[in-house]
Structure 1
Amino acid sequence: MRDVKLVATDLDGTFLRNDRTISKANLRALERLGERNIIRVAATGRNLKKVKDVLNTDIPFDYIVFSSGAGVYNWQKQEHIYSQNIVADSARKLLNFFVDQQLNFHAFYPVPDNHKHFYFRGAELCEEFERYFEFNKAHATELEEHTLPSGELCQFLVILQENEERFRNLKAAIEALCPEIRVIRASSPLTKGYIWLEIFHRSVSKGNGVLEICRRNGIHADQTLGVGNDYNDFDLLETTRHSFLTDNSPDKIKHRYPLVPSNEQDAFAVSVKPLLE
């Protein structure tokens, strides 16, 4: 690991504790990485507004890969440097498809305003959809079936009760409808028993966001380390040379990468410790 020049970490369930606070050990590890001129990246599914809800501007990250890679933000300069939205034609196809299927979904404005979104209540009552709506209703507008948005969108979020077959079938249908679209699976951070389908442009991923930062700083992918805790971190961990999962990851995926302690036990600090010895 002596050649590592960039470290990337997921936030929720990885860098942050369950109460969304930062441990002293993790904060000190960030500071020490900076002292060694190692670039520090938070790679998260949160939009930028939600990142700022949990990170003060003095937390010493260098970059934020937000909305699973739809945007990249220079944290030190507080400026956007990259974005990738879903083009208008594909956004329209997806809106029509989800409405026709009467699914519960959210459709998000293009980066950097993607904390704002449209919401649509489908045919099935979904408690998880309502919980998400309650958390985000200040920035939500109800979708009118007959006056659908016509421009680009950042992403879609479809919420399902956990059902592997339904998830696979829906994922295949969405990706067949728009070949430039990809579907990312995430476990609900709110309630067990639900699957979140996050739909982005195919080039959007945490890994590609990290590679964009590497390109801008003359860093090779072999000089990177990543740590995460869920399915939606695979894009990151498949990109970084040295990759780790936290012990609080779903049991089904723990075999994929070396394990570090849970997010409650300084997972980030433990994963980067060899860089600081």
Structure 2
Amino acid sequence: MRKIKLVAMDVDGTLIGKNKILTRRTKDTLTAAAAQNIHLVVASGRALQAVPEELIQIPGMEYVITSNGSSVFRLSDRKRIYGRDMTPEQIEKLLEFYEDYDCPMEAFICGVPYTSKTYFDHPENFGAGPLSVNYVRTTRHPVPDMRNFVKRHENEIEGINFIIHDMELKASMRRQLETFEGLYVTSSVPRYIEISHGSVCKRSALLWLAEELNIPQQQIAAFGDGENDLEMIQYAGFGVAMGNAVELLKQASDFIAPPCEEDGVACVLEQFF
């Protein structure tokens, strides 16, 4: 039996399905894993304040990797113990790029997500379904002028998101952004382009945390479903793609779990204890 000392898990599409519900089976399995002295780590593209509290409150949940690897928070005191923010120069270049577009923008600052007021007021106008509308309204802080807000906070930004409902426009914007030096560009859900410092991803934050905890790569399991989980899945000694994962993640994984909607994480972890 493979020995696992740390489990890193994405949130959306991995621990929580389309209904935004964390199931009792998953909660119980994670609690049981922690009781076996397995370190539990959430690894999300979300900002800390947007990570479900019921997930954070699971007994034994210790750390949260947020903003696609830009930060690591210790849950016992909600302290940011690792961080790599974007540089003012990167922010200036993104704002210059953004002048040509009218899509909503989000910024994550020390665990808090801010978004364009137009998006906060009417997420449905930008492709959000009913559950996503509720998610936006309960996790985001609306800002009337995101350009000026981001400029004022250019020294403390973990990541920037652009929200684009038009997939052709999104593809065009992403192609341009990927030519910018020093940026990490990814997408966890179809409507989002997520941007952070080029030195970070979920893998880099997980590697840092594993070294801090003195846990070898071979004893790490990681679960994910999206493009932004790729580097983490490739790094982990046991990389698991959900049954609902994108194809490139399945190809890179060591194992394919049942889909999120079928408690895939729990199904796999139950085999370890």
What's the TM-score once normalised by structure 1's chain length? Answer: 0.82
**1:188-227 alignment runs, 5 A limit:** 188=190, 195-227=191-223
Partner residue of 1:275? 272
Q: Give, in angstroms, the shift of residue 225 of structure 1.
A: 0.6
Residue 178 of structure 2 corresponds to residue 175 of structure 1 = yes
5+ unaligned residues in a row in structure 1: which ranges?
Answer: 189-194
Partner residue of 1:127? 125
Q: Is the 8 A contact 1:106 1:120 kept in 2?
A: no
**1:1-277 alignment runs, 5 A limit:** 2-99=2-99, 101-112=100-111, 114-118=112-116, 127-128=125-126, 135-136=136-137, 139-143=141-145, 149-150=151-152, 151-152=154-155, 153-161=157-165, 163=167, 167=170, 169-177=172-180, 179-188=181-190, 195-250=191-246, 254-257=250-253, 258-276=255-273
Change (3 A) 1:84 1:118: farther
Change (3 A) 1:31 1:145: closer
Tell me the SS of whatever aligns to 2:163.
Answer: strand
Deviation sequence 1:11-57 (CA, Å, 0-9, x none)? 11111243333222222221222222111111111111111445353
> In structure 2, how many angstroms separate the alpha carbons of the residues matched to 1:34 and 1:163?
41
What's the TM-score once normalised by structure 2's chain length? Answer: 0.83
Q: Is the 8 A contact 2:23 2:263 kept in 1?
A: yes
> In structure 2, how many angstroms separate the alpha carbons of the residues matched to 1:103 and 1:175?
19
Q: Give, in angstroms, the shift of residue 199 of structure 1.
A: 0.6
Q: Give, in angstroms, the shift of residue 273 of structure 1.
A: 2.5
5+ unaligned residues in a row in structure 2: which ranges?
Answer: none
Change (3 A) 1:103 1:59: farther
Greater shift in the superposed pair: 130-139 or 19-28: 130-139
Q: Is the 8 A contact 1:103 1:158 kept in 2?
A: no
Change (3 A) 1:173 1:56: closer
Greater shift in the superposed pair: 4-13 or 47-56: 47-56
Q: Give, in angstroms, the shift of residue 215 of structure 1.
A: 1.3
Partner residue of 1:191? none
Change (3 A) 1:133 1:13: closer
Change (3 A) 1:107 1:96: farther
Deviation sequence 1:246-267 (CA, Å, 0-9, x none)? 1222457544433211112111
Q: Give, in angstroms, the shift of residue 133 of structure 1.
A: 8.0
The one-letter amino acid paired with 2:262 is Q
Q: Give, in angstroms, the shift of residue 203 of structure 1.
A: 1.9
> In structure 2, how many angstroms separate the alpha carbons of the residues matched to 1:105 and 1:49?
19
Q: Is the 8 A contact 1:20 1:54 kept in 2?
A: no
Tell me the SS of whatever aligns to 1:14.
Answer: coil
| Percent of residue pairs bearing the same amino acid type | 20
Greater shift in the superposed pair: 79-88 or 155-164: 155-164
Q: Give, in angstroms, the shift of residue 63 of structure 1.
A: 0.8
Number of residue-to-residue matches in the alignment? 263
> In structure 2, how many angstroms separate the alpha carbons of the residues matched to 1:109 and 1:270?
33
> In structure 2, how many angstroms separate the alpha carbons of the residues matched to 1:253 and 1:180?
24
> In structure 1, how many angstroms separate the alpha carbons of the residues matched to 2:15 and 2:3?
22
Change (3 A) 1:172 1:147: same
Tell me the SS of whatever aligns to 2:235.
Answer: coil
> In structure 2, how many angstroms separate the alpha carbons of the residues matched to 1:231 and 1:73?
22
Tell me the SS of whatever aligns to 1:13.
Answer: coil
How large is the Cα RMSD of the aligned pairs? 2.9
> In structure 1, how many angstroms separate the alpha carbons of the residues matched to 2:212 and 2:248?
35
